[in-house]
Amino acid sequence: MNRRNFLRTSGALSLPALLSTGVAADPAGFFSQFINPDSDKVLVLIRLSGGNDGLNTLIGLDQLDKLSQVRGNIALSASDVIGLNDTTGLHGSMTGMKSLYDEGLLGAVQAVGYPNQNRSHFRSTDIWTSGSASDETETKGWLGRYLELEHAEFPAGYPNEEFPYPLAMTMGNVVSSTCQGSLSNLSVVVNNPFNFLYIAPGGNTSLPNGNYGTEVSYVRELIGQSNQYGAVVQEAANAGNTLAVNYTEGKLSDQLRNIATLIAGGLQTKIYVATLGGFDTHSEQVTGNNRLLGDHANLLTELSDSIKAFMDDLKLLGVDRRVMGLTFSEFGRRIRSNESSGSDHGDAGPLFLFGNCVQGGVMGQSPEIDTAVDQNTGVPFQYDFRDVYGSVLIDWFEVPEATVQTLFSSGFTYLPIANGCSRPLNIIVDAPAALGDEYFIDLDWQDHVLPRPQGFRLERSEDGRNFQIITRVPAKNSVTGYTFRDEKVRKNKLYYYRLQRENTDRTISTSGVQTGRLRGSSRGDWAVGLPRPNPVRDDGSYIKVYAPTDATAAWSVTDISGRKVRNGSISLLGGQDNRIPLRPAGLPNGTYVWQLITENGQRFSRKMLRQ
């Protein structure tokens, strides 16, 4: 019997169960205020167990009237929502996270999910923690696969002189399958880091040959490792401290306070998993007519206040730039509420990132509410959760993209959500220019570092990865402020910018990435929407295409291997939205890319899912 099978047949007994922007060198220090390359980065996952109601968490201000029609017994009114921007707000109890948002320390991603959503708590949790597709079974967690890139032999030989600390840690009593590896889970479970329980190793008497001897030997090995890890954890807890006074009573607050204590105590663990349960709100989600009271409001208050206290603590401890956090839940809730003042298992939901190095802002559009929606319909997803995972690995842990692609069987698309660790660029994107038919994006930055540089390079990308220099700006001895106007931009197109400082010793300091999208009241360029609904239906699914003038454009559909399965041309009326039917009937279930090619060579690609 191999070790994996033994773990399965013995109730998942494993080591944890025994414990109660790719940034270049910066020698001149210009960007050292934004990122410390010598710090060990930490990722904190917070699981919202039970399936969080995203429509009452990250709320479309432009959808409030429709929400009140389809979930009249639980929907929030405008006065119950804290605005983040013109179209999006937070549940009124989430004042702590609103404060972080205003400081640029919180980002949100709308409607995160996956194709062929499974509404079982157990199965969907397996999908989210393994990073797998809904039609495949993956026994290893997505972070377990990542950790095994550097620790392929684990648990054999661990802990050791180079890695005396746990590689990952699950707070609570049950190990997280997020960190499950090939042979065992790569995380340890810690409920109280100050109270380590030593387990007698069971002696060293000789064991018989065969399965029994192999299994007992393995258990002995795990016990020995647990004792060693437990001692290291308790030592860090005793050496650490917390300084924030705004922690509230609650399980999540306790978990995050313990994590802050261990980080401050010098523990070099890279990954922590915390859990806040209770989100399966089938009934009594709200209390009476006051939508800011009830089970869901209480959970969101604890989530928001705990994260705010945690971030305040990290800042007081001087380790805030080492930590990034990510929330996830196994699914969202359905669009229509039920008759018990609750919501039932649904599909996609919002995801939050927090820390000094998140991009901030809201990515995606508020879910569009159809007042004629049936009782079983959930929120369609806009972003695949594996795209979020892979992007965090690239930007936070600096895993090469080619390697990340191997961790997810269905591949992933990079999202600029975790690459904001340096913000020397101030980007103004909201005003169209008075340059005839042209538009611009203004960028400015400050440089107070001595010695003065030779100059600066500004780089731009349209995909977040492949950058080109758009200008070189010479340095001036008497000037600390610089500005550049990028006039080669189109409306409704997302651009990525980064700044490079040419130091006097011929080294280059590279900032993180900032994004900008030109918006305005007039429309002067092409715009292509997302497939709606997505997954697409045989009848009724469409994409909106805006053309500035009457035009003919080519379109095509390719499958995930890049094979073109359909193509054609369409005539478009200028100056208005053209509703293009998708008609996927006859296509096998799977992931496709719908592409529009204009007469002047512009290309717009949109992911399309067929179930």
The enclosing domain of 506 has a CATH number of 2.60.40.10
In a domain? residue 370:
yes
Residues 481 and 599 in one domain: no
- Write the single-letter amino acid at 375: Q
Q: For residue 572, what is the domain's CATH number?
A: 2.60.40.1930
Predicted pLDDT of residue 44 = 98
φ/ψ of residue 170, rounded to 5: -105, 125
Residues 274 and 357 in one domain: yes
Residues 171 and 50 in one domain: yes
Residues 447 and 507 in one domain: yes
Is the distance from CB of 146 to CB of 393 less than 8 angstroms?
Answer: yes
Residues 6+ apart with CB under 8 A from 253: 247, 302, 305, 306, 309
Residues 307 and 279 in one domain: yes
| Chosen domain end from 485, 517, 549 | 517
Arithmetic mean of pLDDT over the chain: 82
Q: Which tokens sit at 185?
A: 């889970």
Comparing 262-266, 286-290, 468-472, the range with the smallest average pLDDT is: 286-290
- Please write the tens of the pLDDT for every residue from 365-416: 899 999 999 999 999 999 999 999 999 998 888 787 777 878 887 777 888 7
Predicted pLDDT of residue 20 = 28
Predicted pLDDT of residue 13 = 27
- Please write the tens of the pLDDT for every residue from 239-261: 998 999 999 999 999 999 999 99
577 pLDDT above the threshold of 90 = no
For residue 404, count CB atoms less than 10 angstroms from its CB and return exposed for 0-12, middle for 13-18, buried for 19 or more.
Answer: buried
pLDDT band for 150, please (50, 70, 90 cuts): confident
Q: Which of 571, 605, 564 is nearest to 587 (CA)?
A: 564
Residues 154 and 269 in one domain: yes
Q: Tell me the average pLDDT across 288-297.
A: 90
- For residues 105 and 25, the model is more confident at 105
For 11, the domain range is 3-17+41-64+75-194+235-407
Q: Which tokens sit at 444?
A: 């400015």
What DSSP character marks residue 358?
S
Q: Which of 582, 530, 581, 577 is nearest to 557 (CA)?
A: 582
Ramachandran area for residue 454 (φ above 0: left; ψ -120 to 50: alpha; else beta): alpha
In a domain? residue 168:
yes
Q: Where are the alpha helices (DSSP H) in 25-83?
A: 64-70
Residues 114 and 241 in one domain: yes
Predicted pLDDT of residue 285 = 94
80 pLDDT above the threshold of 90 = yes
Residues 560 and 602 in one domain: yes
In a domain? residue 210:
no
In a domain? residue 175:
yes
Number of domains in the chain: 3
303 pLDDT above the threshold of 60 = yes
The rounded distance, in Å, linking the Cα atoms of 337 and 376 is 10
pLDDT above 90 as % of the chain: 46
Q: Which tokens sit at 226?
A: 């647990």
288 pLDDT above the threshold of 60 = yes
What is the maximum alpha-carbon separation in the chain? 87
Comparing 42-56, 155-169, 294-308, the range with the smallest average pLDDT is: 155-169
Strands 361-363 and 441-446, by their bridges, are unpaired
451 pLDDT above the threshold of 90 = no
Element (H, E) at 227: helix 211-239
Strands 271-276 and 187-190, by their bridges, are unpaired
- For residues 272 and 291, the model is more confident at 272
- For residues 374 and 223, the model is more confident at 374
The rounded distance, in Å, linking the Cα atoms of 194 and 17 is 17
- CB neighbours (10 Å) of residue 175? 25
In a domain? residue 293:
yes
Residues 541 and 485 in one domain: no
Under DSSP, is residue 493 helix (H, G, I), strand (E, B) or coil?
coil
- Write the single-letter amino acid at 30: F
- Orientation of helix 251-264 relative to helix 295-317, angle to 10°: 10
Q: Tell me the average pLDDT across 97-106.
A: 92
Residues 577 and 453 in one domain: no
Residue whose token pair is 């496709």: 592
319 pLDDT above the threshold of 70 = yes
pLDDT above 70 as % of the chain: 80
The rounded distance, in Å, linking the Cα atoms of 96 and 359 is 18
Residues 558 and 495 in one domain: no
- CB neighbours (10 Å) of residue 483? 11
- For residues 196 and 16, the model is more confident at 196
Residues 379 and 305 in one domain: yes
